[in-house]
Amino acid sequence: MDLVRPEPEHLTSYAAALRSGWSPDTMRPATAADQLASLQDDPVAFLASMDDPQGRGPRVTLPDGSVVPRLPGLRRWMWDGEFCGSIGLRWQPGTTDLPPHCLGHIGYAVVSWKRNRGYATQALGDLLPLAREQALPFVELTTQPDNVASQRVILANGGVLVGEFIEPAAYGGDTGLLYRISLT
């Protein structure tokens, strides 16, 4: 498995994953339909939106329907000859702080038929150098207390549990776990 920058040759496989019910946003499944529509409307613009280091793209819709400004970020796709999953990095220039509505610097999702192959663990490890390029001394990731697979991915990449937190109301207000991975 390799992390790839999304390119035209990957779109058919990515669209098939979206059509199957997979979503790159585990907190807002409707993102799949939104992305499929964007991909069909303007594939060039869709691909350009995957790398947005200035955060100039359209505003982001949260799970509760509220809309917030887009952060600078980039997205890479897990690829083993076909689409396997997605991992993204987001940040605010000049600070490690994130706005309260942003649950971590990194988020990832693997399609169900490619899980338990180590792809998320490898993807996270492969993405960390890109986070270092943004001069981040660490990245934070969040997960649900019952998501043991995600916790293993984070721990395998040097993550340390910071503690529990209460998710913002936009995400349901549940208890989450906050991890930090040092990049220094």
Q: Residues with Cβ < 8 Å from 105, sequence gap 6 or more?
A: 89, 90, 91, 98, 131, 136, 139, 140, 141
With b for 16 or more beta-carbon neighbours within 10 A and e for fewer, the 133-149 pattern comes to ebebebbbbbbeeeeee
Q: Which domains does the chain have, with CATH numbers?
A: 2-136 (3.40.630)
- How many C-beta atoms lie closer than 10 Å to residue 179's C-beta? 23
Phi, psi of 116 (to 5 degrees): 65, 30
Residue 74 near residue 49, CB atoms below 8 Å: no
List pLDDT tens digits, range 28-84. 777 888 899 999 999 999 999 999 999 998 888 887 888 999 999 999 999 999 999
* pTM for the whole structure: 0.93
List pLDDT tens digits, range 84-100. 999 999 999 999 999 98
